[in-house]
Amino acid sequence: MKFSFLIFILLAITVYSSCSNKPGTPEPPNLRPGEDACDECRMIINEKRFAAAYVTEDGDAKRFDDIGCMLLYKNKMSPEGATYWVNNFTNSAWLNADDALFVMSKEINTPMAYGIIAVTGKKEAGSITKSFKAKVLNFKELQKEFKQTELSN
């Protein structure tokens, strides 16, 4: 009886741990400001707070000096199953792009002049939009807006 209970507990722990972890979810890539070049424009990535990246399911990482460069590259290459990462404008910490909010304005100076920065939430976005005439978008909205802007240029 004790042996079967022990087996049950071990099996339950195994099932729980396999369900709670997301195997294969890529981590943000290592970024070396001043050394890594943008995969779109080939400029050296100097300011981490504007940087973005994606990692494919097979671990291939692409790095960008501007969120706009990442979106442009994404539209051309259409990577399957990639996880997108952006740096928080205020503290340069990696954020999963699906969890970030984006402030978009021509008044924001970014490395390649796309005027897009990433933040963690509405409060942070609100404080930035007070300084600029800007739109606040989630990642899906940003991709749609960027495509429309790209087509009109």
Q: Which two tokens stand for residue 12?
A: 């339950």
Let me know how many helices (H) and strands (E) the chain has, helices first: 4, 7
Q: Which band of pLDDT confidence, cut at 50, 70 and 90, is reported for residue 80?
A: confident
User: What is the Cα–Cα distance from 93 to 25, expressed in whole angstroms?
Assistant: 18
Q: What is the pLDDT of residues 20-68, one digit of tens each?
A: 334 556 799 999 999 999 999 999 999 999 999 999 988 999 999 999 9
pTM confidence score = 0.81
